Amino acid sequence: MSPIVLALGASLFYGGADFWAAGLTRRTSPVAVTTWSQLSSGVVLMVLLLGGGQPFDAGALCWGAVAGAAGGLGLLLYYRALAAGPASVVAPLAAAGTAIPVMVGLVRGDPTSALALLGLPLIVVGITVVAFDGGDDRVSPPWGAPLRGPRDDEPRRDDTPPRAVPLALVAAGLLGVFFVLLDEGGAGQGELSVTLGVQVGGLALNAAYLVATRQSAAELAVPGRLLVALVLLGGLNLGGDASLTFALGAGALGVVSVLTSLSPVLTAVLAWVVLRERAPRIQLVGVGVAFLGVLLVASG
């Protein structure tokens, strides 16, 4: 299958997962949502590997685990940056992380057409505009994150605290490195193993978070009626992780990473259509710019 189709498929899975997770995180803790969804994904992957769907690759598993931990930590720092400073500053800085896999791909000579080089910046600009709604301080998390923006009772921030910018920059770096690590791990025939590693790395990060914040395992308890919804979320995230890994194995790192990062666009569209949320004009422009970028990349 075309890497462009796989990357766009990954963005659809991640965007749907973000939308689904937004409702779940209002009913239970975010750490419980991520833990249970990753556990369900891990079980499915273990069954596939044991069933002979693909040979187990320990090296790919390690690459995936490091990528999962890096991506998870990047999302955590991104959330902290949102709590410390205005989204109008934090969101564009975090979205700039897509430049890392693009630059890595160009340096190592990945084949990228002139049309793709023109379309990739348009996609990044579109993602940034969609992720940030100038009407308030809420943003859609980049790269598939079941996290929420600042609470309604948090005060508005008219200035940028000193720690917000470095937090956002480190988050951008980690989120960009996530793609590079996944690309390295899936370079051979270990796509399923590296995808399993992502779940392992995410679970390890969740455990470290609980220890660091001195929270008990009771934080992971969820009502039984939510388990099916959490398993469905795990399936969506698994679809995104697997599609991304296979896309990286078949296509250029820079192109795949930017196309996958379109997930906030789908999340916003679902919110407008399903929840009847207001669609700000600036975000509609962002969707149009991102779509134009996708057309250019696909044409290249």
pLDDT per residue over 137-188, tens digit each?
444 544 444 444 444 444 444 455 678 888 889 988 998 999 999 988 876 6
Quick check: is 157 in a domain?
Answer: no
Quick check: is 156 in a domain?
Answer: no
Whether the CA torsion 297, 197, 268, 102 is positive or negative: it is negative
What does the pLDDT average to over 40-64? Answer: 85
Quick check: is 155 in a domain?
Answer: no
Quick check: is 283 in a domain?
Answer: yes
Secondary structure of the chain: what % helix, strand, coil (to 5)? 75, 0, 25
Which residues are CB-neighbours of 107 under 8 A, at least 6 positions away?
none
* Total domains in the fold of the chain: 1
Quick check: is 193 in a domain?
Answer: yes
CA distance 252 to 232: 30
- The proportion of the chain whose per-residue pLDDT surpasses 70, expressed as a percent, equals 87
What residue numbers bound the domain in which 290 lies? 3-149+162-299
Quick check: is 13 in a domain?
Answer: yes
Quick check: is 154 in a domain?
Answer: no
Which residues are CB-neighbours of 281 under 8 A, at least 6 positions away?
none
Q: Are 66 and 74 in contact (CB under 8 A)?
A: no
The yes-or-no verdict on residue 82 having pLDDT over 80 is no
